[in-house]
Amino acid sequence: MDTGVIDLIHGFSVALQPQNLLWCFIGVMAGNLVGVLPGMGVLSAISILLPLTYGIEPVGAILMLAGMAYGAQYGGAICSILLNLPCHPPHAVTCLDGFPLTKQGKGGTALGITMMGAVFGAAFGIMQMIITAPYIARIAFSFGSAEICALMLLGLLAGSTLAKGSPLKGVAMTIFGLLLGLVGQDANTGIERFTFGILDLDDGVELVALSLGLFGIAEFLRSVNNTVPIDATYAKLGVSDLRPSKADMKKAAFPILRGTLIGSLCSLIPGTGPTIASFVAYAVEKKVSKNPEKFGHGAIEGVAAPEASTHSSVQGDFIPTMSLGIPGDAVMALLLGALIIHGITPGPRLIVEHPDMFWGLIASFWIGNLMLIFLNVPMIGIWVKLLMVPYRYLFPSALFFICIGVFAAKNTLFDVVVTLGFGVFGYLLLMLRFEPAPILLGFVLGPRLEENFRRAMTISRGDIFTFVERPISAIFITLCVLLIAAQIWVRIRKTKPPIAIPADAHE
């Protein structure tokens, strides 16, 4: 623990350097902005800024990109509560009670409680990371290729089946992502794979082009002329409205605590990010409530718990990403990709080899969350005004930023063509009800999965059973099997015809 304190102090000395402070501020500011703007995704926002970080120090770059990831959570809540727009999945459930509160004129209270939940949830998530991440990394030190391989398999499987949408389609998207990750020169033999004679593909598919196609352009194609008109009749409030009454605070205290715990639990299970955490937290709150009929009509508990859970979960999501190199969702996959681009090998050694990065990041979480409170509470009026920017002005501007951002990644317009291609393809996937997020997970992990699989097979002399003979990897494989079995079980139960209420129900 003592070393932990020293490390943390070191982290603050990194994060408080003026330029890092500036990057952190830009990150949380931009994150909050995309969170507020309806119809803008955090994935595309991080992707647009990623190429612009190539010129700066890796630590500053990661602080900034991470700041966007958690900053967007603050903005997203404003959008849900005041406008009833579930445009940011983790906050979709907040609409249920947040908007009724707004209609009753208590939108400010809801936002105030949200801020309190956010601070508490984030603080808990960060503490959890400080305590657990170094331990997890230390355990993972002893992992060989087989264990890493099995762990990645578990992470990919959880990431693709636990998120929304059909599990089978999720797995398919993950495999497709793994295949995309193999495009380019094979590290072992130098052979070019799946480049189809195109020189620009030698280095593989550009991460930014993939993610901006799938989450940027595909999203525009879906939303153009198809957005709900913004109803801003109730979205008027000032700073003083944000202070919740004592009674409300009392009502929200335990929901915030429960939500935080649920969020931190969800963050430890790979694949269950803030979205699932918020839904579980809402459901639990409704279950334990003495008057569940109030939910959906403006129960403050229904805002407090999910919001606290998303914040603790977003912070906690960094744990597997930074300590194991296994991202839990697409946002973390993108950050992992950013680490790789900046020449940092993710995995258990990251904390030891790049203490500046790890502890600086944790320190910046504290600073960034503090900045977000100061950004949101006094400036709430400005953010509310930004909510009114119509989508028809937003997406053409965003398209330009996407084009130029992709160009900046490698200074080639070829990647813009690739982006457009993935955009159209991504829209096709959306129409066929595929969720594109697992593609990114597979894409980022693809090369490392193949490398470790090859090595594990070489070490075991081609014995595929090495994965179940080594105890730690056997645990991961067992978890994989359990996960699949649970999915199949749920599925079979669901497809059974609903039992009609039989006449002999009195038995």
Which positions touch another protein (CB under 8 A)?
A: 52, 168-169, 171-172, 175-176, 178-179, 182, 186, 188-189, 191, 193-194, 217, 220-222, 224-226, 390-393, 395-397, 399-400, 403-404, 407-408, 411, 413, 416-417, 419-420, 423-424, 428, 430-434, 450, 453-454, 457-458, 461-464, 495
Q: Report in angstroms how near the CB of residue 412 gets to another protein at its nearest.
A: 10
- The encoded tokens of residue 215 equal 């989450």
Chain CA centroid to CA 83, Å: 22
Q: Report in angstroms how near the CB of residue 454 gets to another protein at its nearest.
A: 5
**CA gap 409, 419 in Å, rounded:** 12
DSSP string, 475-504: HHHHHHHHHHHHHHHHHHHHHSPPPP--TT
- Could you tell me which residues are beta bridge partners of residue 380? none
Q: Report in angstroms how near the CB of residue 156 gets to another protein at its nearest.
A: 12
Q: Report in angstroms how near the CB of residue 61 gets to another protein at its nearest.
A: 14
The answer for residues whose C-beta is within 8 angstroms of residue 50's C-beta and 6 or more apart is 65, 207, 208, 334, 337, 338, 341, 405, 409
Report the residue number, 241 or 450, with the smaller CB distance to another protein. 450
Q: Report in angstroms how near the CB of residue 428 gets to another protein at its nearest.
A: 8
Report the residue number, 356 or 450, with the smaller CB distance to another protein. 450
Report the residue number, 432 or 505, with the smaller CB distance to another protein. 432
Cα-only R_g, the chain: 23
**CA gap 5, 460 in Å, rounded:** 42
Report the residue number, 166 or 289, with the smaller CB distance to another protein. 166
- Residues comprising the chain, all counted: 507
**CA gap 212, 48 in Å, rounded:** 8
Q: Report in angstroms how near the CB of residue 390 gets to another protein at its nearest.
A: 8
Report the residue number, 35 or 446, with the smaller CB distance to another protein. 446
Q: Are 28 and 70 in contact (CB under 8 A)?
A: yes
C-alpha distances in Å from residue 68, one per residue of 62, 332, 484: 10, 11, 33
Which phi and psi (to 5°) does residue 193 adopt? -115, 140
Report the residue number, 226 or 240, with the smaller CB distance to another protein. 226
Q: Report in angstroms how near the CB of residue 496 gets to another protein at its nearest.
A: 10
Report the residue number, 185 or 289, with the smaller CB distance to another protein. 185
Q: Are 23 and 63 in contact (CB under 8 A)?
A: yes
Other residues' Cβ atoms within 10 Å of the Cβ of residue 214? 29
